[in-house]
Structure 1
């Protein structure tokens, strides 16, 4: 009889697929249900940059950005006003409602110099690093 290694994550993967199919059949996904937009965060030598997927914003008053205690919070509302007959709706996946996302920043930033722009459904936030957060070489006392 051949030995087959036991895959401990096989059952967990199967459970995840069942949960995903349940939410797909109900008509909404985790992303929509919990209102947490997806984002990318990276840093350069001088700034921390965030790109956040927020399709459907109508105006800048629909989104608010706060930087406090090395945390970034993005929150707002996406509204859609198209009139549709709910009885003829076959699938409803586009997000409608309030959203919020808070993340810890990888470096201290200058909140007052933060700039944000919105184009083609992507919110870009550029936060200059504070002077004490920028990397500098430490001199070693060698005995």
Structure 2
């Protein structure tokens, strides 16, 4: 038994119409890669799936507790080549994350390995757990208060 997916049918129809009419829109398509966010004692790690994206086409910006990732996966539309099926997503991508103040955006590290962009945000120094030493103070001398006797006549 074959499962019917109306959205797949609509998508394929849209792709066929684009091919027939030349798809002359100037607006690039958008894609939304999967994102994983993990937190541990050291900080926050965000992983984005960006297979096939040239690292030169990835831009990461951090400002005012906001982290923005932009990327573009280009589609090669060669002349004389007919696309029978295009299922991979192409185009531009932009995603913004609100980052709590307990993470230090100035120490953001970004690496791209095997199609995965990894962003590492360490905890800020102010948010790290610290043990404060309590100092015992002994022989505290209280200041003497001298009162001068005055005779009023």
TM-score range, shorter chain: 0.5 to 0.7
Separation in 2, partners of 1:101, 1:115:
17
Cα-Cα RMSD: 2.8
> Is 1:26–2:14 an aligned residue pair?
yes
Q: Return 101-110 or 43-52, whichever deviates more.
A: 101-110
Greater Cα radius of gyration, structure 1 or 2: 2
Unaligned runs of 5+ in 2: 16-27, 132-153
Report 1 or 2 for greater relative contact order, CA contacts < 8 Å, sequence distance ≥ 6: 1
TM-score by length of 1: 0.65
Indicate whether 1:67 and 2:62 are aligned: yes
Q: How many residues align?
A: 115
Question: How is 1:6-85 mapped onto 2 (pairs within 5 angstroms)?
Answer: 18-19=6-7, 21-27=9-15, 33-58=29-54, 60-81=55-76, 83=78, 85=80
Structure with higher helix content: 1
Does structure 2 retain, via aligned residues, the 8 Å contact 1:78–1:98? yes
Structure 1 residues 6-44: Cα deviation after superposition (integer angstroms, max 9, x where no partner): xxxxxxxxxxx64454235434xxxx9543322101111
TM-score, reference length from structure 2: 0.61
Query: Which of 124, 129, 133 pairs up with 2:127?
Result: 133
Shift of 1:74: 0.4
